[in-house]
Amino acid sequence: MKAYTDINLGRSLVNKLTELLINARLIFRGRPVRVAMENASMYTVSDGEMQINICRPGRYNRYKRGVKRGIDALAADYHLDTLKGIDGGTLIDCGANVGELGIWAKARNMKYIAFEPEHLEADCCDRNNYGSQSLTIRKALWKETTTLEFFHKADTADSSAFSVRDYTSKSLVPAARLDDEVDPSKLSHPIILKLEAEGAEPEVLEGATKFVTFADYVAVDCGYERGADQDHTFVEVNNFLSHIGFRIVAANFKVRLTVLFHRSGHKINTTSEQIEV
């Protein structure tokens, strides 16, 4: 018992020292945020006005200029900042990570449904969006309901259903079709699907053929993340969505290769059509 207590005390001291070092660095650099460390896999980043729970120590840098600014920057990456008239709608988040976009959606009175197969990230998403209730769906979205070999690279948010370079471990995870998990006919419009599947975007869409006919917008990270060769998925995603009536209304090919699609025939509410190359 004493040895167990000594181990816990040692871990607490290490955690406290890590927290002090992180905050000293933030203070030295004049950053407005501070980090509180609950344990080695749970941190709270706060700036006096907002806070967010994270589980990877390097991720606090995303909020170095403030929690809201970090969240808004992520929404802008997916061109969600260009949308108007979305209050009261629905955001489906494939690859939710810690649920930053859920906080963004809540500020707009939107229903938020999160999918995240990494358990630590899903725990944070629950804390950030669901009052710590276990409501984040801990499944990988896929083209069929099955069990997938999943390659973990969570420290850099690069875990994938495809083998990736320098993955830390692999395990079997439950996978499901979006069509089997969510009934879009019961959701409030506008319906936005945000899709970031680390190269598996075509497979996720293949399992969402019904859902996308109800969706108003699909915001996709088509970047260079598919498998060890790190291929992009823009061609496959664009072909799939354009075939069923979506068109591109915003895109950025400079950094993340993110594209916002809108379904033709649905009312469009964006500030402008933006395509950056």
Residue 208 and residue 218 in contact, taking contact as beta carbons nearer than 8 Å: no
Q: What is the largest CA-CA distance in the chain?
A: 69
**Per the confidence metrics, is the pTM higher than 0.95?**
no
H or E stretch at 197: none
- Contact at 8 Å (CB) between 70 and 47? no
For the record, the structure tokens of 18 come out as: 């890590």
| CB-CB contact of 144 with 159 (8 Å) | no
Q: Which residues of the chain have pLDDT under 50?
A: 3-4, 6-7, 272, 275-277
H/E stretch holding 23: helix 2-28
Q: Are residues 22 and 107 in the same domain?
A: no
| Residues 7, 84 share a domain | no
| Structure tokens belonging to residue 242 | 């354009």
Count: domains in the chain:
2
Q: Are 127 and 120 in contact (CB under 8 A)?
A: no
Residue 111 near residue 87 (C-beta atoms within 8 A): no
Res 254: pLDDT: 86
Last residue of a domain, one of 14, 39, 64: 64
Model pLDDT, residue 273: 53
Determine the structural domain holding residue 100 and report its residue range. 78-276
51 and 93 co-located in one domain: no
Please state the separation of Cα 169 from the chain's center in Å.
20
The answer as to whether 72 is a domain residue is: no
Give the residue from 104, 105, 137 showing the smallest Cα distance to 119.
Answer: 137
Beta bridge partner(s), residue 93: 114, 194
Looking at the chain, how many residues does it have?
Answer: 277
Looking at the structure, tell me whether residues 158 and 257 fall in a common domain.
yes
Q: What are the residues facing 111 on neighbouring strands?
A: 90
| Whole-angstrom distance, CA of residue 66 vs CA of residue 24 | 16
pLDDT at residue number 267: 59
